[in-house]
Copies of this chain bind each other. A is one copy, B any other.
Amino acid sequence: MTIHSPIIILIRPQMGENIGAVARAMANFGLSELRLVSPRDGWPNAQAEAMATGHASQIVENVACFQDTAAAFADITRAYATTARPRDIQKRVVTPQGAMEEMPAIAGKVALVFGPERTGLTNEDLSWCESIITIPTSEHASLNLAQSMVVVAYEWHQFAMGKTKEISNIPTADLSQYDQLFRQLEGHLDESGFFKVAEKKPAMLLNIKTALLRAHMTEQEIQTFHGIFRALAEK
């Protein structure tokens, strides 16, 4: 199954820096196609280019700029408006994650739409959008354009790569190696008179082992601790 990456559409963006910041967020999370509708300061834009370093510069170079909203949406199958939940329009509202999970069911191009920094999307802009993506925030929050783009692009990447919680686990020493370390330590402690009250020894040993096990040591670290205990005992 190939799912095409969503297209980002910025409607009447104001500051070039923000267009550049959007491109950066896109590049970091594997999105590439950016459309602008009536950018305030025209296009191309030097501030946008200055902000969009690295892989983001390609995105800015390949921007498609439209004067007409209808033309920007012409080949889109489904558009999601990214905005705080509007008061006076009844539209389905989903989270970024919920929206990404719908992508496989959509045959055609998907657009994620962002409004102008100050004023947000108008009802006319929203009329192109089947659904609204609202990013869950704390009360009285106000996400700016770049922050919203980071979250939405991040969720796209999460979805596209398939979620894996644990990226990497260091191979931990097996318990036979731990056991050798514990025996060595116990021997040293016995010799040193560490266990003053014999009845308490089992519980004390258990606590020591528990703590060391929780360290999830590698083989190399086990060897290091063998060396540490030996060095201390021989001193």
A-side interface residues toward B, CB under 8 Å? 24-25, 27-30, 54-55, 85, 90-95, 97-98, 101, 134-138, 140-144, 146-147, 150-151, 154, 157-158, 161, 163-170, 216, 218
Contacts and interface: CB of A to CB of B under 8 A. Distances in A.
B141 A29 contact: yes
A218 B89 CA distance: 12
A97 B162 CA distance: 13
Contacts of A150: 147, 150-151
A92 B167 CA distance: 9
Given A140-B54, A154-B154, A157-B137, A170 B90 contact: yes
Contacts of A29: 137-138, 141
Q: Which one of A90, A97, A135, A167 has the greatest number of beta carbons of chain B within 10 Å?
A: A167
Nearest to A144: B24
Nearest to A161: B136
A85 B167 contact: yes
B27 A138 contact: yes
A54 B142 contact: yes
A28 B166 contact: no
5 contacts: A54-B140, A90-B218, A93-B166, A94-B167, A95-B164
